[in-house]
Amino acid sequence: MLFYFTGTGNSLYVAKHINEEPISIPQIMKREKLKFKDDSIGIVSPVYGHEVPPMVKDFLKKATFDTEYFYMVLTYGNRHGGAAELADNLCKECGITASYINIIVMVDNWLPSFDMNEQILLDKKVDEHIAEIVEDIKNKKHMISKVTDTDREAHQQFLGNMSKMPADAWQHLLKVGDKCIGCGICTKVCPSGSIKVENGKAVHIPGNCQTCLACAHACPQKAIGLTIPEKNPDARYRNEYIELKEIIEANNQNV
């Protein structure tokens, strides 16, 4: 049994290599009962600020997993900041013993820092790394990916910067521009139901936004942007092997 969270398809791409029918966290979270039992149970998730997205944290806190082998695979783009250790600590807080936590570098979809047109040209050896991870999990390998003091320092520095910002700053990260035609795709790719179309135009509702950027990346008009500067407002991304309809199936809260 494998659960995943995705904004732009990287984590779903990895999940599909590990399990033919991975289960979407934004969909399963609608269930009242979150008790799961299997030989092995895993989670594939992107890394946001070196940690997993709020909804994945929530899932770990609320669910119970009856398994001998619990594992996590964390996709990131540039700097993991000790993500494996932070995820391991989170598991411990939730009473989960993780047997295996690995990280995998993929396209970085963080628009303030990266130009998607440049990111897609980099060879991050994704398929080689996935093959290694799939093999590890098949063999029920025990390992938590190594973390250095430099990684930990990077995370502390990040936390220091975050503490200078208003607590709800990220809830106001997204803005809808004039190019919006009210097609509603953004409402369907949002994992937290944080976008509605009102009077023919998308409206972003702060509060439960996961900042996954699925809305911005999937908007066919490139009408959704950020309230902070972007590296290239014209460049958007979806994992090349993942279809838009798979992101919608994973995240749509309007069903």
Ligand X SMILES: Cc1cc2nc3c(=O)[nH]c(=O)nc-3n(C[C@H](O)[C@H](O)[C@H](O)COP(=O)(O)O)c2cc1C
Binding residues for ligand X (CB under 6 A): 6-11, 46-50, 75-81, 106-110, 211-213, 239
Between 7 and 22, CB nearer to ligand X: 7
Residue 201 amino acid letter: K
Residue 105 dihedral angles phi and psi, to the nearest 5°? -85, 130
Between 48 and 59, CB nearer to ligand X: 48
Helices then strands (H, E): number in the chain?
10, 12
Between 65 and 76, CB nearer to ligand X: 76
Residue 224: CB minimum distance to ligand X, A: 13
Residue 170: which residues within 8 A CB-CB, separation 6 or more? 209, 211
Between 145 and 239, CB nearer to ligand X: 239
- Transcribe 77-116 into DSSP letters: SS--TTHHHHHHHHHHHTT---SEEEEEE-----TTT--H
In the numeric block, which tokens belong to residue 60? 């770990």
Residue 135: CB minimum distance to ligand X, A: 21
Query: Other C-beta atoms within 10 Å of 188: how many?
Result: 21
Residue 11: CB minimum distance to ligand X, A: 3
Please answer whether residues 122 and 238 qualify as being in contact, where contact means their C-beta atoms are separated by less than 8 angstroms: no
The region that residue 97 occupies, defined by phi over 0 for left and psi between -120 and 50 for alpha, beta otherwise, is beta
Residue 119: CB minimum distance to ligand X, A: 8
Residue 81: CB minimum distance to ligand X, A: 6
Between 83 and 180, CB nearer to ligand X: 83
Residue 138: CB minimum distance to ligand X, A: 22
Between 120 and 181, CB nearer to ligand X: 120
Q: Residue holding tokens 């250095």? A: 148
